[in-house]
Amino acid sequence: MKSFRIDLHVHTRESSFCGRSEGRLVAQLYKKAGYDGIVITDHYNRGFFRRFPPSVPWPARVDHFLQGYRGAREEGEKIGLTVLLGIELKFIDSPREFLVYGIDETFLKKYPELYKMGIAEFRRFSKQLSDPEILTYQAHPFRPGLTPAPLTLIDGIEVYNGNPRQNSNNQLALAFARQNNLRMIAGSDFHRFPDLARGGLILPEAVADSRALVRVLKQNEGIRLITNEHLPFSFLRLATGVGNLIKKLYYHIKEDP
């Protein structure tokens, strides 16, 4: 059976303020890079949604959020690339971010403002659902300013994050996952061209939709990590690291006045 190469952590310009490539172009780039699929995981947080005036209903806000995903999906259908929907969810009470798989457009419109929940409440909420089945992985848990979430609240962690402008301390994440017998994923954390095809998974079978992806991730068998360890020096990466430390100080002061 043919393996399936997929990147689980991809952003678009339309829906992530830090993204630099439109969804349509992202799909083209990944197809040329030899991938079979991608998951668009644009940043889902309070900052994105509060830029809309209160008069804009929630479903309309979600439609704006989905622009990058929809552009990538439409292009993927033309060129033979599977494009699935996920989110990188950041709650208002913590700098941690979580990659959420198994959702669809209907889910995002039905349950508004997920970022207000916090990871513990979101875990309870997601596990009470009979449909869809949701998996939550903590993204880059060992970046400066971040710590792993309680293991009872997540399904696994991102042990390899390929973003070359960030110090994700991937070796610490991998060791932590092995020590705690956690499910492991890898992703490019694509925002711009230099991030292309730096990470992902090679699955033992093709996945055509989010349900199939969740099933394969849960089975956790025959999955191989895609990693690109070469990290060229970047002044932007250095500045980003300083910014992460400032965020850590901010949340420390906020939580321990």
pLDDT at position 234 is 45
Q: Model confidence at 17, in pLDDT bands (50, 70, 90)?
A: confident
Q: What is the CATH number of the domain that holds 109?
A: 3.20.20.140
pLDDT digits (tens, 9 = 90+) for 117-161: 999 999 999 999 988 999 999 999 999 999 999 999 999 999 999
pTM listed for this prediction: 0.88
Range of the domain at 238: 4-255
In tens, the pLDDT along 61-75 reads 999 999 999 999 999
> CB of 81 within 8 A of CB of 128?
no
Q: Please answer whether residues 87 and 44 qualify as being in contact, where contact means their C-beta atoms are separated by less than 8 angstroms.
A: yes
Is the model's pLDDT at 237 over the cut of 90? no
Number of structural domains found in the chain: 1
Q: Determine the angle formed by the axes of helices 58-65 and 67-79, rounding to 10 degrees.
A: 50
pLDDT at 216: 98
User: Is 250's pLDDT higher than 70?
Assistant: no
Q: What's the mean per-residue pLDDT of the chain? A: 91
